[in-house]
Structure 1
Amino acid sequence: MPNDTAAELKAHSGALDMRAYGRAIRKSWWLVLLLAVLGLGAGVLITAKATPQYQSSITWFASTPTNGDGTPLQADQYAQRRVNSYVGLLTSEKLSDLVVEKNPALTRDQVQSSITASADLNTVLLSATVTASSPATSLAIATGVADTFGTMVQQLENRGTDNPTVVLNVVSGPTLNPVPVSPKKTLNYALGLVVGLAAGLALAILRTILDTTVRSPQALRELTGAPVLATIASDRGARRSPLIVDRSAQSGRAEAFRQLRTNLQFVDLQEPVRTLVVTSSLPDEGKSSTAANLAVAFAESGRRTLLVEADLRRPKVADYLELERAVGLTDVLLGGVDINDALQPWGNLPLTLLASGTIPPNPSELLGSPVMAELMASLSTSFEMVVIDTPPLVPVTDAAIAATLADGAILIVRYGRTSRADIAAAVRSLDAVGARNLGSVLTMVPPGGGASYGAARYNTYGAESPTRSKRLRLNRKGKRVEESNAERHAPLPSSFDRSSPPSADRPRGRRAAPSDDGEI
């Protein structure tokens, strides 16, 4: 299925939509430029390798003597008709043999192929052009033609009589043009450039038509039928600093996450979102780091936030937060660990992590168990916001199962990589279980690729507190958090009631592993 620009091109077939073509060309401007340069280079190369050609020219005047039986007009018309026949004689083998007799170094084929003849319309002028790779050869052949062609015509026309019917007189040449007539440098360069440019434009439009990925928020909104909550710009620094803290807290990327947080708070005022599933269609679209940064953004606003690492197949959230995942969600669901011992506070923010724990052989069954539903209900009463990172929707069913336990789900879509078919399949998976699709997030958007307010138009918007940034840096390096757990969240109800705070000696400080794509 073509992308949004391609859809515009097809929708306006028969009518030229210059804006759609312009977007397609602008998107692949580098391809157009590359092929234009290659075309120009090909023109230069062909011109440099071509053998120069030189021309010599001759012009005859054909006349018919008049007698008492005809008028001058009749004689002139007769001469015009005869001149047209002489055009063929100039490239005949007979004339070539006569020229070779005068220049033994030449061959018949060489002479015959070098001569081009023409007759001016409604005149008695006959012209011959001799083209050769050597100026001396061109002039030698032209001289031989000038010397022998008139005599040959006399023999053919007059048949040895003393009263010629047609007389040919050389009126110009043989003249050598000292400047090569081929190759034509300017013409070759221009043709190469035009051909390369045309090929580039055609490939740019074809590339857009064949592109099945999503590259604009408008196309994503039409495909999912849900709002695009944010667009996250691509950032090279995300590989080194995946979280929006320290210096990254002042970046345009961080502002985009705050915009996502705000949009989620107002997506439905009648049914506010308190438990949120973050998922994607396929791996490596930025869902795990999006979940981590969204949780940080909620915690920055002062809301008690829990981040649940429910991707029990390829967990990454604990790595981003530099916390341990040896004990976590799986161990709590299996009854081996109390929830109090599994929750890990992070930084000076009201943010807590429930890591994945031991990787189980049956993630889908665990996430769909009654124990998981009871745990989510308990956690949602203790925290003001619960963000759940889950596996992709297309390969496995884990995210769809988890979405039924939450207030809604958001779909992470990677710019220029996620296909429209995969996005549609992911939306169908959510619809099949009756999950609430809150909207989507377009990630890794290049500059000028449709990024929104916080992601593209501003590098920074305001400054974060230096004191806060300093505290976070120290904390992420392993310093103990001074605030108590009672300040973080309320007591848990039912069997998941927290009787004691998590151990302060729990190891944390594992170095964050960058994601495969280096983006959140």
Structure 2
Amino acid sequence: MNLQSQLTAVRRRWWIVLASVMVGLAAAGLITVNTQPRYDASVTFFFVTTPADGLLAAAQGSAYVQQRTKSYAALLTSDRLAQSVAAEPGLGVTAGEVQARLTALTPVSSVLVDASFSDRNQARALRVVEVVAVQFVKLVQSIETPTGAKNSLVKVEVMNGPRVTPEPVAPDPARNLVLGGLLGLFAGVAAAIVRAMVDRAVRTAEVLSRLTSAPVIGEIPYDKSMKSAKLIVGASAKSPRAEAMRKLRTNLRFVDLQEPARVVAVTSAVQGEGKTTAACNLAIALCEAGWQVLLVDADLRRPQVTEYLGLTGRPGLTDVLLGEVELTDAVQSWGDRSLLVLPAGPPPPNPSELLGSKGMADLLASLRESADIVLIDTAPLLAVTDGVVVSVQADGALLVARYGSTSQAQLTAATQALRAVDARLLGCVLNGARRSVAEGRYYPSYLEVPAQHAVPGRRRAGVGPEATDVPAQNGAGAVAAAPTDATQEFSQVTK
């Protein structure tokens, strides 16, 4: 992944980063609360040689002390000093604790040594450093006194201290929270990038087109109101989703001008990709442009077209293929005069065989001449063979994929299933695509067109009257079906 891809992955998965930062802050706060306070007591030693005659002797003495300063710092953490300090009555610390908590620091090119001791008890920390100051001076003098001499070559003076910090040096709430937040931020960014690298779901039109070797002719934006209003009628007619369906309508009409598709199968790789919603809304969008549309529900296992449109499910396609009902008796009119619907009918025991029968082929040939365009809602390609059977008999297929849900492997398998039977893949539709912030501001303002400026769509010459606006919805979002001029015209054409 390049830098741009990584930034995109982090932006799309911002909630992972936010959650990680919150966890880091919570962990830092928990550690801070549960950590007992600690105090530091310190003392500073100054080393100098005993007085000697002459400047040369003084310079040599100073150089001697500087060379041995690091040795004096190491002497502060030695076993000998720790044992002598621990032996002091009333301290309550062991030699090991003295060594572990006593630190020494030597500034560069100086004859000073800073010693500090950390303890949970403020008074004990100060008392230990006081004992260290006394015992360390004695230890240095004993070591630096030559055999038989009375005075030490090095004199140790206490320059600063002993003193103890008035406030605890640990824990530091501000520092802990900053560190926790930064660690959480880094972990969240890493997790977002790793998840993007292992995520095989389709999220861009480019990936969808590459996997299917077909153009993406529609990107339907995510709309949170879609659960309650699936169809692009009423208030939803001016939504970005409705405008995307109109773009899909236009692109579908110009996919192939040499061989225009009159019978189009709408399918998907797996269940739940939104193919039925796309088929219904595409049919409505085509009707708005003045086309006479016949929508066929060929998903005989889980039919939903009539549920979305508020029509009766019987009689339907199954009854027509079995010869129990005439086609004109099964077709229902929805909304305006130009949308006809052929429901699925009762579920048959052998859907694949029924859809692949000669009767189905003859029916599609008849429907092709009775409407401007026929849309067929089919079963998912990977679940059963119904979708493949219908797609090969249609003039072409539209493959619907859902953003962030359909995997690349599923799309590849669905495309191979269509290619295996030489079915024509007209294009793909990315459903639930995420819009940019700029698009979100653009659509609502631009789509508010005054009603008097609306231009009615034009129908093909010689095919029915001009289309009118889709009427208001009935009850649960559907328009009541009733015999209209469209059903009468369809009846005359199919006879």
TM-score band (shorter)?
Answer: 0.7 to 0.9
d(CA) in 1 for partners of 2:445 and 2:198?
Answer: 30
- Which digits, 9 at most, give the CA deviation of each residue in 1:57-106, with x for residues without a partner? 22222233366898333333333344333223322343334334544242
Show the 5 A alignment for 1:465-476. Answer: 468-470=469-471, 473=474, 476=478
* 2:41 is aligned with 1:56: yes
d(CA) in 1 for partners of 2:15 and 2:241?
Answer: 26
Secondary structure of 2:182's counterpart equals helix
d(CA) in 2 for partners of 1:326 and 1:140?
Answer: 95
Structure 2 counterpart of 1:91:
77
Show the 5 A alignment for 1:53-452. Answer: 53-65=38-50, 71-109=57-95, 110-158=97-145, 161-448=149-436
CA separation of 1:423/1:382 partners in 2, compared to 1, >3 Å: closer, same or farther? Answer: same
- What is the TM-score normalised by the length of structure 2? 0.88
d(CA) in 2 for partners of 1:451 and 1:274?
Answer: 33
Unaligned runs of 5+ in 2: 457-467
Structure 1 counterpart of 2:462:
none
- What is the TM-score normalised by the length of structure 1? 0.84
- Which digits, 9 at most, give the CA deviation of each residue in 1:348-400, with x for residues without a partner? 23221111112112111111111111111011111111111111111222122
CA separation of 1:445/1:460 partners in 2, compared to 1, >3 Å: closer, same or farther? Answer: farther
d(CA) in 1 for partners of 2:35 and 2:112?
Answer: 33
Letter in 2 for 1:226: A
Letter in 2 for 1:120: P
CA separation of 1:439/1:462 partners in 2, compared to 1, >3 Å: closer, same or farther? Answer: farther
Deviation at 1:340?
A: 2.2
Secondary structure of 2:118's counterpart equals strand
Deviation at 1:413?
A: 0.6
Structure 1 counterpart of 2:485:
483
Secondary structure of 1:120's counterpart equals coil
Deviation at 1:172?
A: 2.1
CA contact (8 A) 1:36 1:200 kept: yes
Letter in 2 for 1:483: D
Deviation at 1:134?
A: 2.2
Secondary structure of 1:71's counterpart equals helix
Letter in 2 for 1:322: G
Deviation at 1:179?
A: 3.2
Deviation at 1:415?
A: 0.6
Letter in 2 for 1:486: Q
CA contact (8 A) 2:333 2:484 kept: no
Deviation at 1:167?
A: 2.3
d(CA) in 2 for partners of 1:452 and 1:400?
Answer: 37
- Which digits, 9 at most, give the CA deviation of each residue in 1:247-274, with x for residues without a partner? 2222221222122111111111221221
- Which digits, 9 at most, give the CA deviation of each residue in 1:34-75, with x for residues without a partner? 212322332233223322222222222223336689833333
CA contact (8 A) 2:266 2:376 kept: yes
Say which is worse superposed, 245-254 or 359-368, in terms of deviation: 245-254
Deviation at 1:477?
A: 5.8
Structure 1 counterpart of 2:463:
none
- Which digits, 9 at most, give the CA deviation of each residue in 1:436-495, with x for residues without a partner? 111011112234399899989966566579x94546548956474453633456421xxx
RMSD value, Cα: 2.8
Deviation at 1:22?
A: 1.8
Letter in 2 for 1:319: E
Letter in 2 for 1:491: V
Unaligned runs of 5+ in 1: 1-8, 10-16, 498-520
CA separation of 1:337/1:451 partners in 2, compared to 1, >3 Å: closer, same or farther? Answer: farther
CA contact (8 A) 1:256 1:455 kept: no
Deviation at 1:142?
A: 1.2
Deviation at 1:121?
A: 3.5
Structure 1 counterpart of 2:464:
none
CA contact (8 A) 2:310 2:480 kept: no
d(CA) in 2 for partners of 1:286 and 1:199?
Answer: 35
Secondary structure of 2:166's counterpart equals strand
d(CA) in 2 for partners of 1:431 and 1:449?
Answer: 38
Secondary structure of 1:441's counterpart equals strand
CA separation of 1:476/1:300 partners in 2, compared to 1, >3 Å: closer, same or farther? Answer: same
Letter in 2 for 1:336: E
Secondary structure of 1:51's counterpart equals coil
Say which is worse superposed, 365-374 or 77-86, in terms of deviation: 77-86
Identical-pair percentage? 41
Letter in 1 for 2:5: A
Letter in 2 for 1:20: S
CA contact (8 A) 1:250 1:462 kept: no
CA contact (8 A) 1:217 1:450 kept: no
d(CA) in 2 for partners of 1:102 and 1:453?
Answer: 77
CA separation of 1:454/1:244 partners in 2, compared to 1, >3 Å: closer, same or farther? Answer: farther
d(CA) in 2 for partners of 1:203 and 1:280?
Answer: 31
CA separation of 1:450/1:277 partners in 2, compared to 1, >3 Å: closer, same or farther? Answer: farther
d(CA) in 2 for partners of 1:234 and 1:203?
Answer: 25
CA contact (8 A) 2:316 2:344 kept: yes
Structure 2 counterpart of 1:41:
26
d(CA) in 2 for partners of 1:280 and 1:329?
Answer: 20
